[in-house]
Structure 1
């Protein structure tokens, strides 16, 4: 892995042992994002946090096509994030809900949402979003802890 150097246009190479350590740490993050990271998977996982839904309810609430939703639900079921329940009484209905693995993503989504609120909101050009309203939240926390 290359890291831009600060001396001219020179690029410095990290030592091989640093590459290995970085790759090991990044591996689980990359694997996680590959499993949940597509737009439609995230939309469906987020939508199912409200509880079990029928296929057509999911189709309406997510705005996806039947084909896309079917493929995404199959993928999420295969990965263990979603369970499928078939009710054979008339009318036949298929219900989808989060498994414990899928439910465990709720705090992850909450953290990403907090991060997005802080860093992806529009701010004046070049300003740090965390400091636009005066002091940073992090600075306030540090001050409160030191008192």
Structure 2
């Protein structure tokens, strides 16, 4: 996709290049539950029931989301056969690569979503 950096007046035509990488990325990780689970797994490997408690997801929803994330290569699943049988989930290298993205989104949210609506406009005007 052309950024228009060489010609700022040029129109960006998405039809030639298809969807941009941002849209493609958000389609893979963008559901609410996927984001919650990926963010929660940043702290390390967790058992299914730990994830269920920390995310407040139903068993059915969590199972579906974990299966999707595993299929897409974001999450690894490890079975421990010893009694009691346990299933552990952790981020893959691909999943871990999202950690800095989550950090940046959190920084952005702290700056732009935590302030009352009028304050951001006033701050922007005073910076000019």
**TM bucket by the smaller chain?**
0.7 to 0.9
Across the aligned residues of Structure 1 and Structure 2, the Cα RMSD in angstroms comes to 2.7
| Runs ≥4 residues deviating over 6 A | none
User: Which has the greater radius of gyration?
Assistant: 1
Confirm whether residue 31 of structure 1 aligns to residue 20 of structure 2: no
Q: Which residue pairs with 1:40 in the alignment?
A: 33
Name which of 42, 51, 56 aligns with 1:58. Answer: 51
Mind listing any 5+ residue stretches in structure 2 that lack a counterpart? 1-8
| TM-score, normalised with respect to structure 1 | 0.72
**Partner residue of 2:103?**
110
Within 5 Å, give how 1:1-147 maps onto structure 2: 18-20=12-14, 24=17, 27-125=20-118, 127-128=119-120, 131=123
Which structure exhibits the higher relative contact order, with contacts defined as CA atoms closer than 8 Å and separated by 6 or more residues?
Answer: 2
Aligned length: 120
Q: Which runs of 5+ in 1 are unaligned?
A: 1-13, 140-147
Per the normalisation by structure 2, the TM-score is 0.82
